[in-house]
Amino acid sequence: MMLAGTGSDVGKSILATAFCRIFRQDGYHPAPFKAQNMALNSFATPEGLEIGRAQAVQAEAAGVPCHTDMNPLLLKPQSDHTSQVVLNGRPIGNRNAYDYFSQEGREILRKEVCAAYDRLAARHNPVVLEGAGSISEINLRDTDLVNLSMAAYAGADVFLVGDIDRGGIFASLYGSLALLHPEERRLIKGIFVNKFRGDLRLFESGIKMLEDLCGIPVLGVIPYYQGILIEDEDSVSLAVKAAEAQLGKVNVAIVLLRHLSNFTDFNVLEQDPRVHLFYTNHIRELEKADIIILPGSKSTIDDLAELRRSGVAEAILHARRKGKTILGICGGYQMMGHEITDPEHLEGDTECLPGLSLLPVQTRMTPDKVTRQVRFYLNTPDETAEMKGYEIHMGLTSPIEGEPPSPLTLLTDGTADGYMADRHCMGTYLHGILDNQPFIDFLLAPYADKVAGKETFDYPTFKETQYDKLAAHVRAHTNIPSLYNILTTEQR
């Protein structure tokens, strides 16, 4: 099945996650698939390759390891016009939007994504495909790789998802269908009305009107869910998280970078009852934090330059002088060093930019990309727990001349990672380091007076509970027998 949309952010990803869990609960062996994804939030597979984080979440809901066949083509925006192109988990270069969507070379990419689907479909049933944006971008019809051309190749039953919360549900659903060619229109087998607020009985007449207009069934009207926490695909809502300091908790500020990536690094920490976490790029709000975290960035040098222009860099240095904790992850770790050099202009025209000089390290940008899952230990005598994380980065970071290494972590393969100046100033390349309770405890230990008596947080169990709650919510508002009837009936 494919979940396609009337536009972006209508809830395709979250419904795909729900159906991956529903099919698993019903005894099937499902897997997610999105031929082409555009996102800065990515993940490393067990093989050390890169896919969109949304497909990794959907795989987790399905109870299967993530694989590049689930997202063979990933676009990671570097500016308003260019993206890094990741094919089958490996970067193959940067492309501007005009060249990427041109006909030249398009069939090569089409063959790659279709081959990935074939491999996945041979191992899993059903495959839950996800479209991208709107199915009715008619100017892109000839170059489409991810929506109805992919559905036609897979022989997928397509279900159109509309967002009633933003308004215009009748126009968006009917108009999307009206713009399709007849052969495309025949692929659409049903409708989901998503993000409904209020009394569902008030929309009963609307369901009939939609079915009469569109000629296909409305299989579900899904209420806007509350109290269910699933990882977001996009970071657009981060800035609205409250920045007011809270008494009795450790206040953690994530610096809201323009090109912030892998914001899901902080999901576990945000749920910890000892912590109040918020995102900000305002100096006064940073002053309220006990811990400031510099996150990953897809354009590290540009984001570092913006920190300097905005005064945020000086606010971070001031926080360090006051004894607050500064942690850098990936690009944030690179920013904490003495300088970042980019002699091959991989990120732009700037060849060298001074860092924050919080750590005695320097970074040189390199074209080779490191993507791998790792297991590691903290480089402290009193912490022996084995933990896990993953790396997705370009660049090599090493101590400046005359400075001894002081790694934050020791990897099980015998190598080291990161740098720790002291308990209040450290950096690492490891995404997911904050998914490990021992590291969170290590980070919060200097603030024991604030967290005394508060319980720790079991994130793996929490996530499983959230997937089950999401599945129950969607199942309760979907005509599951009709859905299965469509999926198991040969259409002629």
Q: Give catalytic residues, as residue numbers.
A: 330, 431
CB 70 within 8 A of CB 34: yes
The strands making up 325-329's β-sheet, listed across from edge to edge, are 275-280, 250-255, 291-294, 325-329, 425-428, 419-422
Question: d(Cα 397, Cα 289) in Å, to the nearest integer?
Answer: 27
Question: d(Cα 102, Cα 145) in Å, to the nearest integer?
Answer: 12
Measure CA 261 to chain center. 8
Cα angle 254, 259, 262; round to 5: 60
CA atoms within 13 A on the CB side of 103: 3
How many of the other CB atoms lie within 10 Å of CB of 68? 22
Question: d(Cα 483, Cα 28) in Å, to the nearest integer?
Answer: 15
Question: d(Cα 161, Cα 191) in Å, to the nearest integer?
Answer: 6
Q: Locate tokens 């005509």: which residue?
A: 479
Which residue in 104, 111, 47, 46 sits closest to 73, CA to CA?
Answer: 111
What separation, in Å, do the N-terminal and C-terminal C-alpha atoms of the chain show? 17
Question: d(Cα 291, Cα 443) in Å, to the nearest integer?
Answer: 9
Which residue in 396, 294, 308 sits closest to 344, CA to CA?
Answer: 396
Q: Which amino acid is at 121?
A: A
Measure CA 268 to chain center. 14
What are phi and psi for residue 28, nearest 5 degrees? -90, 180
What's the token pair of residue 237? 């809502």
Question: d(Cα 129, Cα 146) in Å, to the nearest integer?
Answer: 9
Q: Which amino acid is at 103?
A: Q
CA atoms within 13 A on the CB side of 252: 26
